[in-house]
Homo-oligomer: A and B are copies of this chain.
Amino acid sequence: MKLKQLALISLGLMAATASFAQQKAEDLIKTRQGAYKVIAWNVGRIKANVDGQFNKDEVLKAATAIQALANAGLGALYAPGTEKGMGYHETAAKPEIFDPNNKKIGEVAGNFGKEANELAKVAATGDKAAVKVQLGKLQQTCKACHDDFRQEDHHH
């Protein structure tokens, strides 16, 4: 095999590897965008219940889904290579969320998990007023993370 042939094969493999990495990154970005969309849907359902007619079963299902996603390990969806680029839409993640030395990340993620676990507990009691208070606490943790780590002009 000639050197030129080897070089061409090597270039082809590099292109294929880059393309695979890009596809994988797009998939991870789509997944995290999808996860937040599903969380927002469930937050909205609970909000509709505490502001209107309260269906304990629906609230508990929604709170359980939020809890499971909050504890699922969404951090894995911010793998290296996913700092920029398209998922379903251009990522709205700020560069700061990819800094392994940023202690704020563990803090906001921990608070989200803590309040989501508490919301699931409160939802199980069926106490509408208590659910309303706890939903507010959860939403504060969403806002805290968005304030620090989401570009407001990018998401939709």
Q: Chain B nearest CB: distance from A101 CB in Å? A: 24
Query: Roughly how many angstroms separate A42 CA and B89 CA in the complex, as a whole number?
Result: 21
Interface flags for A72-99 (1: CB within 8 Å of B; 0: not) read 1100010000000000110000000000
Verify if A65 is at the interface (C-beta below 8 Å from B): yes
Interface segment among A56-64, A126-134, A136-144: the answer is A56-64
Give the interface size bracket for A toward B: 20 to 34
Q: Which residues of B contact A64 (CB under 8 A)?
A: 68, 71-72
A77 to B, closest residue via Cβ? B41
Interface segment among A9-17, A26-34, A103-111, A147-155: the answer is A26-34
Interface flags for A35-63 (1: CB within 8 Å of B; 0: not) read 10110011000000000000000100110
Q: Which residues of B contact A68 (CB under 8 A)?
A: 61, 64-65, 67-69
Query: Roughly how many angstroms separate A74 CA and B42 CA in the complex, as a whole number?
Result: 11
Query: Roughly how many angstroms separate A84 CA and B31 CA in the complex, as a whole number?
Result: 23
Name A's B-contacting residues (CB within 8 A). 30-31, 33-35, 37-38, 41-42, 58, 61-62, 64-65, 67-69, 71-73, 77, 88-89
